[in-house]
Amino acid sequence: MLRDQVEEALQKIRPALQQDGGDLELIDVTDDGRVKIRLTGACGGCPMSQMTLKMGIEQRLKEEIPEVELVEAV
């Protein structure tokens, strides 16, 4: 169920990434609230990708889903 919530929230974030030529792929959601994603396209090699991950994606997921503890790139 947590994975479904994360997928739904990521669908709201995805258009902003796609506008800049990037995207993301959900790899895993663990029982302890760790979300593993892969940034793809322009986001995959962008020097700002870590900031996008932490200040954008992670912050937004934590706001919508309190069970999310950490978002990490794989």
Interacting residues of 45 by C-beta distance below 8 A, sequence separation 6+: none
How many structural domains compose the chain?
1
Q: The domain containing residue 11 runs over which residues? A: 2-73
In tens, the pLDDT along 35-69 reads 999 999 988 888 888 888 998 999 999 999 999 99
Q: What is the mean pLDDT of residues 10-27?
A: 93
Q: Global pTM?
A: 0.89
Structure tokens at 23: 């995207």
CA distance 17 to 62: 18
pLDDT of residue 44: 84
Is the pLDDT confidence value at 2 over 90? yes
3-state secondary structure of 12: helix
Which CATH number goes with the domain that contains 11?
3.30.300.130
CA distances from 67 to 11, 20, 25, 63, 74 (A): 18, 29, 20, 10, 20
